[in-house]
Amino acid sequence: MREFEFVLTYDAGADELMDEFVERPGLRAQTAACFANERSMWRVDHVFGPESALDAVESRFLDESVCNECLDVEGCSSSREYQVLSENPEHRVYFTRREEIQHCHSIPYLAVDHVGDGLLIEAERDGSEYVWRLLVPDDCAVGELYDRIDERLRDGIRLDLSHVSDPKNWNGGYDTGGLLSAEERETVASAVDAGYYGTPREATVADLAEELDTPHSTVQYRLQRAEEKVMTRFAAESL
């Protein structure tokens, strides 16, 4: 099996749901499961972020008159069902079921139509990027699938191939994503980008505090809380 990862980048105004992720820092959606056949798709998405951002995105995410996956048109004739499976102030879990997906070009439909049943799919929305990862057979013509997707994109959406490789950390991360608050995730992400966890360390807490425009003590506390949560989960599951 090979992992095929590509990125859809959305211009402002190209998709109302993606606009919410662009305009609201700290908002992120990650797929826990996505299954499709030639006519139907089912998926479960975890959405993380500040409560105000989750409330705003939910009204669009749960609008059954809108398809959240269409590539070539903003609406389509497929039937849709959205449900809230669970919720707390900084974490929502949504279920999506779509029927007659052959009437609406989307990544799940195009991938299943090209690869066949049994395809495994992951996806993540963050800012203007919608990242898709497919686990495909070694003999799958990935270039042909890329071309099929690319030729169906409407204006304002761009497709880039991230990598084709052996599977890496497949289905990892979504179960721990809910451990951290939006502020903790933002702080850890900045720390990683700045090289705070590098060897040798390339940034200090003071550097992160300046970058985030947040008090030094607050940044230190968020890092410590995030590290405690992640390491406690790791120890419970792995040691």
Which residue segments constitute the domains of the chain, with CATH numbers given? 2-168 (no CATH), 179-238 (1.10.10)
DSSP, residue by residue, 84-137:
EEEEETTEEEEEEEEE-GGGS--HHHHHHHHH-TT-EEEEEEETTEEEEEEEE-
Tell me the β-bridge partners of 122.
133
Q: Which are the contacts of 114, defined by CB distance < 8 A and separation ≥ 6? A: 140, 141, 144, 145, 148
- Residue 111's CB is within 10 A of a number of other CB atoms, namely 23
Tokens of 134: 């497919």
- Residue predicted with more confidence, 219 or 135: 219
pLDDT digits 0-9 by tens, 36-71:
777 788 888 889 888 888 998 888 888 877 778 788
pTM: predicted TM-score of the whole model, two decimal places = 0.73
Task: Supply the pLDDT for residue 237.
Answer: 56
Query: Pick from 74, 96, 71: which is nearest to 8 by CA?
Result: 71
Axis-axis angle for helices 142-150, 107-115 (nearest 10): 150
The percent of the chain in helix, strand and coil, each rounded to the nearest 5, is 35, 30, 35
